Structure 1
């Protein structure tokens, strides 16, 4: 018994086979593009020992490639130079892909970028002590395993916020207050930890009083000034009333009473001013201004 295949069946089979071939080809294209995207994030954006951004991007970028953001665009060579610079500036730069969404030749990639810059980062001085962690979104147009174009956005504003220290004025005030508190409590360990190696302790006043400075260097202050001052002057009252800071400098104003151990005589209550400078989180200048006449009178028992 002969069997006949209708024309419609032949057409259906042809369409089915053609569709399968197209689907297979499309799947291969998608896989090829995803492999290129993986290499882009793992081998060009992320610092590693095996590759360099320029070498990776040279084989991944299509001719005429452009990268677009809210301020303009750059070509492949500009992108290569930027990434080479980033690798030096951010030696632990890492770009971790979180999600990829594909629609035709478009691939949307959501990533997390992290790093610890050491140098000028977009105009912000950094020293490798702070890191950033931000979200990034890229929309890549791909063709045959190559990048045709990229539209991207990174949350650099958050990165800058994360990298910024607290206000330098706030940091200065905190260090100065901590040092002052350690003095008040007699906490030598804390004091020593907050003293810069090049610290200067400068008390103005009657040069015949043995603790009048300046005293230069942490070692000198600890071994000579503090014992000399401690054996000659006893603080009866020390009351800061006002304080302000700007940048690396803090100033304090208040009232105090002292007793001179040489004579056992107390000063009358007098006002003082204190200028403090902080460097690298430590006190580098402790500049004391007081009614040195009142102190001198008590010291000389006048």
Structure 2
């Protein structure tokens, strides 16, 4: 892949993160439609019965309802070929139900690592590891 392709992929990912950090479900869903392949392969805990871009939209819908001020800070990126790896810190205030836990008003912070594969200028595959255990502990759903 050329340097221009790698730069374009980084710009696509930056646009996606900007939409996520807007707090607007409409902007996130629009970004998914524009920047993500409809048949994206999504390897992360997702709602049963959904695949592709619709699964990604559902995940972000749930997160934005539970944490309306959610913010993803990209701490580190590594780019190679058609892939970008990002290490993020996610913060937010628990204002809506999440995984059966009613709103607590608590501020949470947890880490995640994602690998994005690009094809045709769009996100074609996503692999993620999210520290959900830490998140649930901060919400009081699990012992510390």
In structure 1, the residue matched to 2:22 is 47
Among residues 89, 113, 124, which one is paired with 2:66 in the alignment?
Answer: 89
Out of 89, 95, 100, the position equivalent to 1:123 is 100
Q: Distance in 1 between matches of 2:36 and 2:141?
A: 38
| Structure 1 residue corresponding to 2:36, chosen from 61, 71, 77 | 61
Deviation at 1:82, TM superposition (A): 2.3
The residue number in structure 1 matching 2:53 is: 76
Per the alignment, residue 98 of structure 1 pairs with 75
| Cα contact 1:93–1:114 (8 A) shared by 2 | yes
Partner residue in 1 for 2:88:
111
Are the counterparts in 2 of residues 33 and 144 from structure 1 also a CA contact under 8 Å?
Answer: no
State how 1:197-236 maps to structure 2 within 5 Å: none
**Distance apart, 1:51 and its partner CA:** 5.8
Q: What secondary structure sits across from 2:95 in the alignment? A: coil
- Higher-Rg structure is 1
CA contact (8 A) 2:104 2:139 kept: no
1:147 aligned onto 2:116: no
Q: Distance in 2 between matches of 1:141 and 1:159?
A: 26
| Equivalent position SS for 2:41 | strand
CA distance in structure 1 between the aligned counterparts of 2:62 and 2:24, rounded to whole angstroms? 16
| Residue of structure 2 in register with 1:33 after alignment | 9
Identify if the C-alpha distance between structure 1 residues 62 and 162 changes in structure 2 by more than 3 Å, giving closer, same or farther: same
**Mapped partners of 1:166, 1:158: distance in 2:** 9
Distance across 2 between alignment mates of 1:82 and 1:117: 16
The equivalent of 1:265 in structure 2 is none
Instruction: Please list the CA deviations of residues 158-197 of structure 1 after superposition, one character each: whole Å capped at 9, or x if unmatched.
Output: 0111121898xxxxxxxxxxxxxxxxxxxxxxxxxxxxxx
* TM-score of the two chains, using structure 2 as the length reference: 0.85
1:121-270 to 2 correspondences below 5 Å: 121-128=98-105, 130-164=106-140
**Deviation beyond 3 Å, 4+ runs, structure 1:** 47-51, 70-74
- Larger RCO of the pair (alpha carbons < 8 Å, separation 6+): 2
* TM-score where L is the length of structure 1: 0.43
Q: Distance in 2 between matches of 1:92 and 1:102?
A: 28
**Kept after mapping to 1: 8 A contact 2:136/2:142:** no
